[in-house]
Structure 1
Amino acid sequence: MEHELTGVEIFPHIRIVMGIIIGMGITRLLAGIARFVQHPARESISTIHLAWVATMLLMLVHFWWWEVALYDVRHWSFGVFFFLIIYTIVLFLMSVLLFPDDIREYASYEDFFLNRRKWFFGLLASTLILDVVDTYIKGETHFDAYRMELLVSTPVFFILCLVAMRTANRKFHLAMVAINMIYEAVWITTLFNTPN
């Protein structure tokens, strides 16, 4: 008789693929930071850019931790697996937009970031929608536990992303990254200090 795999047996395989993509995003960000250390005079340092790099690192690590709740999923399908891979690819692409291969046609990383902001904030907005689906995948109980959080934070951050796509105002972008970083840090602290 053939053994049917359980959700607990399937998830580690899915987590490995997700981990590879998340690891590539983290590697991209760390390699980019290393460029500043290796060649401090070559690139101008931007508060907006580095703050988004720090926030993105936090988001990637948080995502990896958050996805451990997928162990509770009992029934897996290729569609759910594919969805999770798409989610991780979106996070990876955001990392690539912070440290592209070549910025020669731009004055700096900040100049590149502000000129490519529609892509970055479009992807960030899509993670908000992806997160709602991801939370639902983890089960009704899990979804209900975060329903109010999703109902409040998702529309607010989605609107902020739409505004960020339209404006290159430095003050707005500094405020946006500060709000995002604080929110991420508070959310992580809350999760880590809540018993499972």
Structure 2
Amino acid sequence: MTANCSIRHGKFMWSIDIHLASSTEVHRTIDKKQPADDIGNVLSSRRSSVAKIKVYLFTPYLFMISPFEYIVILISIVLGMGITQILSGIAGIVQRWNNVALYWPHTLWVLLVFVFHIQEWWITYELRTYEYWRLPVFLFIILYPVNLFILARLLFPLRWSRNATDLKIFYFENSGKLFAFVLSLSVLSIVQNLFIGGSSLSQQIAQMIVATVAAILVVFKLRQPWLHQLVVIVFLIATIIAFALQWDVLLIVNKK
């Protein structure tokens, strides 16, 4: 719907076209990538005393977000909090560099948990086609980011000591809790893939192996350094192989 009115100011005549745009027209305007001066800008001519203004009034519903966009906001906030914990912990180590004794399995776990946060945020995009959202489903889905946040928090001391901090001692003091949440993440991943992602158990052998290893470490309270070093190396290699095998699956295509 278009309306036109004219306003005279001195020797100038302003011709104003007011257009109520529909969603189809807005998308068509965007798709055609028309110049910006076609929307809401003054079109004037040096040779004419008549200036034309085209004003587009957009209906409010055009700016409403989709259910997926609404849902993913809280998931992104929780994942962002976990990443903040990791980056803050790394910054704390750097700040106290001379008073912190690093332990390379702990460092690898920091790297892995950071990657897990990014991976979870990345694959959450696959839920954009999920049609029927219910609160229990969302609460179940957000359990994975919540577990990641707790795991990230367990990787660093709650309060840094003014004295020297040995991250090897810290790691083994908290390894039971660490692998308990690794076990929890594996179980959540398997269940979500079964009921939401549509994957079968035969497609989740890697997750089941991770859950089994984590359960053994938690139940039997194994603290041998060589075992923990072997486990983190295997997990790191498995993660790299998984990314390589899913190179085309972990893909977001910009369709325009």
Considering the TM-score relative to the shorter chain, is it more than 0.5?
yes
Structure 2: unaligned runs, 5 residues or longer: 1-64
Q: Is the 8 A contact 1:22 1:92 kept in 2?
A: yes
Corresponding position of 1:34: 91
Change (3 A) 1:103 1:172: farther
1:157 and 2:210 matched? yes
Q: Is the 8 A contact 1:121 1:164 kept in 2?
A: yes
Corresponding position of 2:234: 179
Corresponding position of 1:3: none
Corresponding position of 1:95: 152
SS in 2 for 1:75: coil
Q: Measure the CA separation in 1 of the matches of 2:95 and 2:164.
A: 20
**Higher share in helix:** 1
Measured against aligned partners, the alpha-carbon deviations of 1:126-166 in whole angstroms (never above 9, x if no partner) come to 111111222234343xx25xx4231x223311121023222
What letter is aligned with 2:180?
G
Q: Is the 8 A contact 1:103 1:109 kept in 2?
A: no
Corresponding position of 1:43: 100
Q: Measure the CA separation in 2 of the matches of 1:100 and 1:149.
A: 37
Matches within 5 A, 1:48-87: 48-87=105-144
Report sequence identity in percent.
23
1:178 is displaced (CA, Å) by: 1.0
If asked which structure has higher relative contact order (CA below 8 Å, sep 6+), I would say 1
Q: Measure the CA separation in 2 of the matches of 1:101 and 1:16.
A: 27
Q: Is the 8 A contact 1:49 1:109 kept in 2?
A: yes
Q: Measure the CA separation in 2 of the matches of 1:48 and 1:158.
A: 19
Q: Is the 8 A contact 1:124 1:161 kept in 2?
A: yes
SS in 2 for 1:35: helix
**Higher share in strand:** 2
* TM-score in terms of structure 1 length: 0.84
Corresponding position of 1:9: 66
Change (3 A) 1:162 1:136: closer
Q: Measure the CA separation in 2 of the matches of 1:139 and 1:112.
A: 37
Q: Is the 8 A contact 1:26 1:60 kept in 2?
A: yes
1:29 is displaced (CA, Å) by: 0.7
